[in-house]
Structure 1
Amino acid sequence: MAKSRVKKRPDGRYAMQIYLGTVDGKRKYKTVYGGTPKEVQKKADEVRILMGKGIDISAQRDTFKEWGNHWLKIKKAIVSSAHYKTCEQKLRIINCYIGDMPISQIKTANVQNIIFDLSSLNRWTGKPTAKRTLVEYRSVCRQVFQLAIENRIIDYNPASSVKIVSNQLKKERRALSVEEQGWIINTPHRAQKAAMIMMFAGLRRGEVIPLTWNDIDFEAGTIRVNKSVFKEGTRFNIKSGAKTESGNRVVNIPQILIDFLKLQPKDTILVCPDTKDVMMTETSWRRMWDSYIKDLNIKYGDLNGKRSKYDPKGVPITIPRITPHWLRHTFCTLLYLSGTDVLTAKEQMGHSDIKTTLGIYTHLDKEHKRNAVSKLNEYIETHASHMQVKNS
């Protein structure tokens, strides 16, 4: 075969054809262009280096969207429908940025700009994107690029060194104080069952919603967690199995929760149904929870004489806006305070990684040590007259 030569085109540019091989009996070429013969030669050398690495040069015009679709087909076969929908939604947003770009031309800066843009303001939600969600976007990019690498389309992963920087304020997740726990225990409401279960059994919201009375063993004092819900629009669908494999568990529950649940009507299959005795939707849960917070606020908040929740001007929320995460965190805190070892706590909480439980326990340990020092200081100040350091 004759050696490729640089040729000048009528438009003034220079070009060179590089032989790629034969496909289906046809000779395939890659043409590179440049403003000077030297530039063309450099590009030709780069192509030959890629060919030497086994990269499929003829497929380098494949777009990110095309390889994203290949990746989705693989995901659909190996993950749950809920996980698949999450992957599909994230890929759709990523495609708005780089979907039509040839995957071989995408640089780290292109992916980094996606993360920066979403962290500043997610145009689909109108809010900055949470750090955890940004990590998921990066993960989708990495997996699509990795699939292209495995198929010899590209030779490096542009998403591998992308940094995560979130502008979203970190949501407060804390345990309820003893006083706030009393609010939950002593305030009847349709949401009280869910709140008590989350606070004294550590179930997630998605595990409480499909919970049935058959899942509760009053004799053994346990709750069996073996299903959860995933969201489609505003509706929840039941998924066999908990949020994670570790989420499938049997939770030992305290007597206070056993006694409370024994007193509840059991005329429905679900423990916490909506007002029509069917499984809750996102909307019905939100309405129930908002109503619950309003009732707690009226009973325990500082309302300056405003006592009616039907006031057309509304009632200001003066109590902390308690969330399901706070209640679940309270259960973990109660396990810590009761001396439950961290491995048992991990199993009871349904954490997939013991590092999560260790993180909570470590934080609580530091907090209680600080409280102990504060009490010591208070004691010393109270008895200061008897504990003064005297000069010798």
Structure 2
Amino acid sequence: MAKKRNVTREDGRIAVQVYLGRGEDGKRKYKTVYGRTQKEADEKALQVKLSMRKGIDVTAERDTFEDWEKRWLKAKAMNVSAGQLTAYTSCGAHLVRAIGHMPISKIRTADIQDVIDTLADYNPTTKKPTAKKTLRQVRMTAAQVFQLAIDNRVLDYNPASAVKIPEKAPQEKRRALTKEEQEWIINTPHRAQRAAMIMMYAGLRRGEVIPLTWTDIDLDKRTIQVNKTVEMIQGKAVVKNTAKTDSSLRTVDIPKVLVDYLRYEKEKAQEADKVKILRPLVCPSAKGDIMNSRAWASMWRSYISDLNLKYGDFSDMEKRPKSKFIPGGVPMRIPNITAHWLRHTFATMLYMAGVDVLTAKEQLGHADVETTLQIYTHLDSTYKRRSMDKLDAYLSEEGKIQSIK
């Protein structure tokens, strides 16, 4: 692997060529490195040789991060939902904006850390500090782009693996409903109530509730089969006969409160249709067909408005609003309950009931147990006293507590 030395450029730098082998055209290929001194140039040449011995493709080191991010997104587009691809594209855009121009081989952990720290302070899209969940997604995107380069023998380490999420970054405002708020869902009839009850007591995602049919629900066995999902593509609902991931294909065991509610709703739907053959969708649009993004948003706004009118605190107003259609609208006095909050409520119920993390993973349809563990770990910090109470109860039942004299 001969190299040519002492080629001095006009700018005073010394160039050293490292022989790389012959190309597909049979011609000899070299890589040129530069140094202010012969020692510096030789050291760089040695690093090239060491990389080659590891199998690294040193000819691709000039490829930028943006080049590899585009390759990664192209591969992802074939295997993920439209919504997930949009999320990946957004995370990639943050990275490309900051380090996209840099050769991927030159990027270090500190460069990615700077991106994360900057986003933690200010997100140019939202004009606010970036939530920890989003920062983790950006870090994961960077890690996967670098891993693609590693798999293609362009790099031998992943600089994103050591990046830390700042503690000061805000947590995403997603929480479980309180007992009082759960009662709101149970006691307020509305076209959206079926969806809300299913998300709160079975943990289904919005995209899993929309295409749900009555044949997917076995009230005698107390189960719901999750076997399809809806993707909103340019506002239109596209049903896929598969779930979000393989793990999302699942059978969810449901509690008696949901069984009783759905049994009543099924009988009510049959009476409304004046036949014994139900319309297939459990949560159809106002027209009876599958909901698109606009139909869902309209239904949910109406539902939250009804909850607000019924349960909101309007003691500071001269008169309590009697209709949600008053001029100027009714001031929002309750939290903006979302589908994510209802699903998180189900996860919290599983935790509070003592359901183990692996069973919770299956019930929630998480792709990996780490996602469930993050929820359980967060709840552990919130309900730490409850965990110790369980230990006290166990020790007491087993007769293991001895009086100390």
Structure 1, unmatched stretches of 5+, are 373-392
Match of 1:8 in 2: 8
RMSD: 3.3
Distance 1:142 1:336, change over 3 A: closer
Does structure 2 retain, via aligned residues, the 8 Å contact 1:6–1:40? no
Cα pair 1:198 1:208 within 8 Å, conserved: yes
Residues 298/86 of structure 1: CA separation in 2 closer, same or farther (3 Å cut): closer
8 A contact 1:18–1:30 mirrored in 2: yes
Q: In the comparison of the two structures, how many residue pairs are matched?
A: 371
Q: Which region of structure 1 is more displaced relative to structure 2, 71-80 or 270-279?
A: 71-80
Whole-angstrom CA distance in 1 between matches of 2:65 and 2:375: 38
The alpha carbon displacement at 1:208 in A equals: 1.1
- Equivalent residue letter for 2:265: L
Match of 2:320 among 295, 306, 317: 306
Paired position in structure 2 for 1:382:
none
Conservation of the 8 A alpha-carbon contact between 1:176 and 1:327: no
The verdict on how the C-alpha distance between 1:230 and 1:125 changes in structure 2, with shifts beyond 3 A counting, is farther
**Which residue is equivalent to 1:17?**
17
In the alignment, is the contact (CA less than 8 A) between 2:357 and 2:373 conserved in 1?
A: no
CA, structure 1 residues 147+276, in 2 after alignment: closer, same or farther (shift >3 Å)? same
> TM-score under structure 2 normalisation?
0.78
Q: Which residue of 1 aligns with 2:395?
A: none
- Aligned partners of 1:330, 1:148: CA distance in 2, in Å? 40
Hey, what's the Cα distance between the residues in 1 that align with 2:353 and 2:58? 63
Matched AA of 2:206: R
Of structures 1 and 2, the larger Rg is shown by: 1
Q: 1:42 to 1:329 in 2, by over 3 A?
A: closer
Report how far residue 173 of structure 1 moved: 0.8
Per-residue deviation, residues 59-101 of structure 1 (Å, max 9, x unmatched): 2212223333433454455555654554444334433333332
Q: Which residue of structure 2 aligns with residue 257 of structure 1?
A: 261
Equivalent residue in structure 1 for 2:365, among 331, 334, 350:
350
- 2:107 aligned residue: 106
Counterparts of 1:25 and 1:341, CA distance in 2: 62
In structure 1, distance between residues paired with 2:3 and 2:380: 68
Q: Secondary structure at the match of 1:104?
A: helix
Q: Secondary structure at the match of 2:225?
A: strand
* Distance in structure 2 (CA, Å) of the matches to 1:2 and 1:340: 65
SS at match of 2:330: coil
Structure-1 residue corresponding to 2:334: 319
Residue aligning to 2:43: 42
Q: Residues 39, 201 of structure 1: CA spacing in aligned structure 2 closer, same or farther, 3 A cutoff?
A: closer
Report Cα offsets for 1:9-49 as digits up to 9, x if no partner.
Answer: 23333323332222122122222233334433333333333
1:180: which partner in 2?
181
The worse-fitting range, judged by mean Cα deviation, of 15-24 and 351-360 is 351-360
Indicate the SS of the match to 2:15.
strand
- Structure 2 residue identity aligned to 1:119: A
Match of 1:328 among 343, 366, 373: 343
- Paired position in structure 2 for 1:131: 132
Listed as ranges, the gaps of 5+ residues in structure 2 are 274-278, 391-405
CA distance in structure 2 between the aligned counterparts of 1:63 and 1:16, rounded to whole angstroms = 23
- Contact preservation (8 Å) 1:346, 1:357: no
From 159, 172, 192, the equivalent of 1:170 is: 172
Deviation for aligned residue 1:334: 4.9
Report the 3-state secondary structure (helix = DSSP H, G, I; strand = E; otherwise coil) of the residue aligned with 1:146: helix
Report the CA distance shift for 1:161/1:195 in structure 2 as closer, same or farther (over 3 A).
same
Which residues of 2 match residues 1-392 of structure 1 at below 5 A?
4-23=4-23, 24-79=25-80, 83-165=84-166, 167-177=169-179, 179-253=180-254, 254=256, 255-265=259-269, 268-303=279-314, 304=317, 305-307=319-321, 308-334=323-349, 344-351=359-366, 352-353=368-369, 355=373, 358-359=376-377, 362=380, 366=384, 368=386
Moved more, 270-279 or 337-346: 337-346
Letter in 1 for 2:17: Q
Contact 2:63 2:104 in 1 (8 A): yes
Please say if residues 68 and 149 of structure 2, whose CA atoms lie closer than 8 Å, have aligned partners that are also in contact.
Answer: yes
Q: Deviations over 1:143-173 (max 9, x none)?
A: 2222322333223222121112262343141
Question: Sequence identity of aligned pairs in percent?
Answer: 51
- Distance in 1 (alpha carbons) for counterparts of 2:352 and 2:109: 47
* Amino acid corresponding to residue 264 of structure 2 in structure 1: F
SS in structure 1 opposite 2:269? Answer: coil
What secondary structure sits across from 1:18 in the alignment?
strand
8 Å CA contact 2:15–2:35 kept in 1: the answer is yes
Moved more, 154-163 or 249-258: 249-258
